[in-house]
Structures are given as structure tokens and as C-alpha cells.
Amino acid sequence: MRTIAGLKRADVILRRVDADFLDPLELNSASRLGTPGMLEAIRTGGVVVLNMPGSGVAESKALLGFMPMLSRKLLGEELRLPNVATWWCGQRNEREMVEANLHRLAIAPAFTRASTPEGCRGRN
């Protein structure tokens, strides 16, 4: 890692740059955010990235309602930190529970958008 004091070794990195901009040598060549050679450093084991490129899907709000089950099925263990209570309304039982408790719940989109069409906005 380049610092004011010179080069410093980084063993572990927490990625804060979108994966598409991570390495201008291998991904988006117009990126001025990423680090040239980052993917090669990851491949050769020179650095560990806690949230590897491509792992963003696991951070999607759309999966929050499924995290406890995913942890059990994929990792064979319970979540270490409790999950925020979340229900995917695409499932009948969950949708009915949400509809019955609208007065007690906050409703939020599973996916973010740059703009929302006028007809899709909720009541004020």
C-alpha cells in the first residue's frame, strides 16, 4: 500500500470500491478508484480481501430474510450475529404476516434504484 511515508505491507483489505472498479488492469480500464494489479495480488495470495470481488450479492437486502437458513445450509452453523427481522413478501405466508402487521413494520425495497417511477411511490 502506498502511503505518505512510503510503501507499507497490507495483509488484509476490506474492499470499499465496487468490484467493477477494483483493478483497472483487468476490469474497468477507465477506473481511477482501483489499484492496478489488485486481482493478481489476490490470485497469488499476496493479499486477502475480506469481501472478495463478486461477494456483493451476499450483501443484498433481498437476501436478508433468507440469511439464517443460508447460514445453516451453506456453513452448517447459526448466524453469529442476529439478523434484522426481514420477510420476503414473494412468499405467501410471509406476505400474509406482513400484511396483517403493516401498522407495526417498516417496508423497504429489496433493491435500490436511482429513481422511482411516479406510480410506484407509497403514500405519504
What are 6-62's pLDDT values in tens digits?
888 888 888 778 888 889 998 988 888 888 888 998 999 888 888 888 777 777 788
Q: Which helix (H) or strand (E) holds 38?
A: helix 38-43
CATH architecture of 8-56: 3-Layer(aba) Sandwich (3.40)
- Spatial neighbors of 12 by CB under 8 A, at least 6 apart, are 47, 48, 49, 50
- Residue 121 amino acid letter: R
Domain-by-domain residue ranges, the chain? 8-56, 60-110
Question: What torsion do the CA atoms of 63, 64, 66, 71 make, to the nearest 10 degrees?
Answer: 100
pLDDT digits (tens, 9 = 90+) for 58-78: 777 888 889 999 999 999 999
Cβ neighbours of 92 (radius 10 Å): 8
Q: pTM score, two decimals? A: 0.52
pLDDT band (50, 70, 90) for residue 92: very high
